[in-house]
Amino acid sequence: MTMRLFLTLKDMNWTDIHPCFEFYNATYIISHNPSILCVFIYIVLFCLCLATVCGNLLVIISIVYFKQLHIPTNYLILSLAVADLLVGVVVFPFSMAQTLTSCLYQETVFCKIRDCFDVTVSTSSILNLCCISIDRYYAICNPLTYKNTVTVRVAGVMIFMTWSVAAMIGISIIIGGHSQGTCDEMCLVDVVLTNVTGPILAFFTPAVLMICIYMKIFIVAQRQRNSIQISKGGVISKTERKATKTLAIVMGVFLLCMTPYFLCIVFLPLASETPPFSLIEALNWLTLSNSMLNPFIYAFFYSWFRSACKIIAFGQIFKSNLANTKLM
């Protein structure tokens, strides 16, 4: 995901290689007779890629097309869906082709481009979730001033800043020369910067921030629910509560998918042995699979998303103008 573990060929166990590779004359080459496991892996990853693209396209089309959904919260969800879509369109194919381009064993322009996209969309996802948590904080903790505080323009600025920061970090990967490829001569500074400082700044700090915000939201929501002195205008609507619950689940799933990989990165320098290649790849794909899960969460909790999906799936938006349709 954001930063692949630094590995060297001498650290790798010769028997612990990708099922699509074979070791021949001291080098790794693509197997001419791929194993059943190799074929199965690519079928599963292709299905994962397809589900990610289709699911997030439905989210994007729904929010863009139906005017009922043109609200600040949904624009932030739209930005997150764009990041997830780019994971399916760009990062997934690059990651699947990683074996064929030997990103594990050498550093090439292709591998650097892959890293740039990977880091950019990963950082964007994290920052988008931070923006969503801030939106939910104002919606629940300051319901009276929420609509005047978090406007469409404010949401637009948050989205612009999110993608700008993510792009700068992604480009810095290429400029700085830090890649997800191998590192034959690795100094302690590289290990600390890439395996410790990077994850702390790019993942753990935003994660702790989001957890603190949602804990505050939960406490305030419980307090207001039990209070009988709230004015009618300040009561949190059922819709806002449900949206907050759904987006908290999105954040929770995100953390469950991401945390194992980043913990692996942080503690790698302390390990006496290099983790198996299969474990590293499994954790990496667990992080990528998060981009597929969000549309399923929306489908489970949001009736408007299910209604929009039915209209889009049956092609009704091409037959007549349904932009003003009231989604239930």
Rg of the Cα trace of the chain? 22
pLDDT average, residue stretch 202-209: 87
Residue 220 pLDDT greater than 70, yes or no? yes
State how far the Cα of 87 lies from the Cα of 257, in Å rounded to an integer.
14
What digits encode the pLDDT tens for the residues 237-287? 777 778 888 889 999 999 999 899 888 877 776 767 777 767 777 888 888
In percent, the amount of the chain with pLDDT more than 90 equals 32
21: which 2 tokens?
Answer: 């590779």
pLDDT average, residue stretch 48-71: 94
Q: Please give the mean pLDDT across all residues of the chain.
A: 78
Give 51 or 94, the one with higher predicted confidence.
51
State how far the Cα of 264 lies from the Cα of 270, in Å rounded to an integer.
10
Give residue for tokens 């920052």: 127
State how far the Cα of 59 lies from the Cα of 294, in Å rounded to an integer.
9
pLDDT average, residue stretch 99-115: 59
In percent, the amount of the chain with pLDDT more than 70 equals 71
pTM flag (> 0.85): no
State how far the Cα of 133 lies from the Cα of 144, in Å rounded to an integer.
18
Give 117 or 51, the one with higher predicted confidence.
51
SS3 22: strand
pLDDT average, residue stretch 38-61: 89
What phi and psi values does residue 30 have, to the nearest 5 degrees? Answer: -70, 130
State how far the Cα of 305 lies from the Cα of 313, in Å rounded to an integer.
12
Ordered by start, the domain boundaries in the chain are 9-318
5: which 2 tokens?
Answer: 């573990």
- What pLDDT is stored for residue 39 in this prediction? 76
State how far the Cα of 91 lies from the Cα of 114, in Å rounded to an integer.
7
What digits encode the pLDDT tens for the residues 167-191? 888 787 667 654 444 444 445 555 5
Whether the Cβ atoms of residue 275 and residue 311 lie closer than 8 Å to each other: no
87: which 2 tokens?
Answer: 């994971």
What phi and psi values does residue 23 have, to the nearest 5 degrees? Answer: -95, 120
User: Position 110: which residue type?
Assistant: F
What digits encode the pLDDT tens for the residues 144-160? 899 999 999 999 999 99
SS3 76: helix
CATH architecture of 9-318: Up-down Bundle (1.20)
For the chain, what percentages of helix, strand and coil (3-state, to nearest 5) are there? Answer: 75, 0, 25
Give 61 or 31, the one with higher predicted confidence.
61
- What pLDDT is stored for residue 279 in this prediction? 79
Whether the Cβ atoms of residue 225 and residue 140 lie closer than 8 Å to each other: no
Residue 100 pLDDT greater than 60, yes or no? no
